[in-house]
Structure 1
Amino acid sequence: MLPEAAAAVAQALRLPYVAIELDDATAPDAGTARVATHGTESPVALRLTLVHQGEEIGALVVAARAPDETLSAADLRLLRDVARHIAQAAAGVRLSLALLRSQEHAVAVRAEERRRLARDLHDGVGPVLTGATWTLQAATTTLRTNPDATHDLLNTALVHIGQGAEDLRRISMGLRSPVDQLGLREAVLAYTDRVSLAVHTELPEQIPRLAAAVEEAAYWILVEAVANVLRHAEATNCWVRLEMGDVLEVSVADDGRGLPPRMRPGVGVSSMRERAAEIGGSCEIRPRSTGGTELIARLPVSLPGVQDADLADQGAV
């Protein structure tokens, strides 16, 4: 899509070189990269910022027709109009690239987690339970001939089994998030209670059990949004709201200094948008009419492949 847009601009205006640059949505500090070019690279005559929904996401770069020629007013008007359209297409491309990298990262993280879990089970729980098995086998041989020795062996086996149970509990807790342990509502309350800011919560009295991916996305989007308020907003108050309907709506608002005229999204903003997009949701950041900023994430309440029966076994949040 973007190479075709660069070629169309170059051919329409007879420009020797046109390029489209995009910020990396997964690493905003990494700067921009030229993702589409047409023609032979020449000295840049004009760089137009690509802006989508108030955010700078890249640039349209063009060269003049000749070294001593400047772009006319008509050229500039056309290029500015074209840049607006390219920005819309570029935003979709940028999100697709970010989702691809996010999926690659998720695969890598899952593989590392499986490796860590296998190592913990092999090096920790495995030897402990093997020791308990050997001790019990030894106890069976002394059961009739030496009751005192059998008693000592059984006590040793119980110690091994208790240690194995504790190791399994530790591994299990390491795999569980606050949402998994407390439920979405209680996890949000537990987090907001620790925040050093006046946080006003509006939560349903009961939230039905949702797919784990939805609950995790809602919780971590909310946590990141509140963290952004603490880091950047210079706010006095923060309002956190969860609303159940056809979708799960997560809202985090503040009374801080608001958004800059042109916002360059950081890692936190990109992460929130990726979390929402990965499960088919959306995430929007906008100024509040009364001052400050508001984040609204809309997440699906059900996911394909997750059956109601799978959730019913988990109980209510």
Structure 2
Amino acid sequence: MLSRWLSGFFGLNDDFVRPVPGRSWRTDWIIAAVLSLVSVATLMYMRDLSSEMLDYLPVVPSCVAILVAGVLITFRRRFPIGVLLLASGAHFVIVGVALPAVASIGGMQVLYFLGIYTAMAYARNRQSLALGVGLVLFAMVVWLVAADSYARATAPDEFQPTLWYYFGTTVLNFAYFGAAIWLGRQAWLQAKAASELATSRDLVRDQGARLAEQAVVAERLRIARDLHDSVAHHISLIGVQTAAARRTMGSHPEVAAQAMLEVESMSREAVSELRGMLGSLRDVPDEGNGARTIDGLAALADESSVNGLLVSYQLVGEPAEAQTITPMQAGQLLRIAQEAVTNIRRHSTASEARIVVRLGRSIEMEITDNGRPVLSAPGTGLGQVGIRERVAALGGTVELGPRSTVGYRVRVTLPRRIES
């Protein structure tokens, strides 16, 4: 029951990845700078407020601690889990032990709060997020227990903490960490709902376009049937009139002439109807030509660069050589690339993917990414089976597997065949 609740709370089995806004580092830099400046101002104010604080708030170490926290928070949306562990975890504990008065400054508390909130709101790998939050909370508990034990051992008997002290400490920490985690999770859920709504809108639009295309196809089939019936009707009548003219040509030439006039009239009528019907079919939009050429991969890269995944396309070789790729090869390469990009989006934490086509003695396509596998993402493995079957049908070879550094690679090699 607990594991199921944790899975649902952190979204461990959810493949949604919240995209990071463009140029987000600018906003984060400004926020971190403002909070750091407020913390330094508070530090100097507390030093001037009481001479007893001079020993607890040394200027240089305190300013360095504040500056380090501000720099870490600047990268909070780029590396949310790393900032969670370094800023809201390690930095909080180290500064809390060495300079507890600095860690308690309001501006610093907001910086630590942002580290936890941003990790819950933007982390791509939810399993690592749950582990990181657990480590931070465990470190906080250990630090609080150790600090309390030290305070009780060194404080005079008349200043020993009471039950209300422990109650207040517990409530404050629950409110602090609970609010950061809950608000971050709500932000992630809202972004997920907005993404699902946008996906639903795209699906409705695509279905509407597909229904419109099906209606056009149905209308063209109706026209084709009408065309068949019309041509068959006129050809049959022409055959009847021609036979009558042949039989009466010697004995009744005037009847034969009349029959030939009927043949001429029906021929013209048939040609007129044929032109009219074919004219309605002639203005057909050029659908999917890019899917039958290598240029379809560039369009695929542009269409797939959404929801936090940037897909780039590169053609290595002479552009003229790309025109020698057969439509069958181009179509299969496009389908393989589509399957590879879909697998990257579903089964990894990648933020970037590359599609590279190299033209030489053979046709080589390589799709790579910079992500790590999401083990909890559902999958049947049929996508890779389909890739292997497509490549085998064209007499090529395929390599599927993780890269030596980070990410995954799909490499397809096809023999060159120039279409005559």
User: TM-score if structure 2 supplies the norm length?
Assistant: 0.34
Bigger proportion of residues as strand:
1
Bigger proportion of residues as helix:
2
Higher relative contact order (CA 8 A, sep 6+): 1
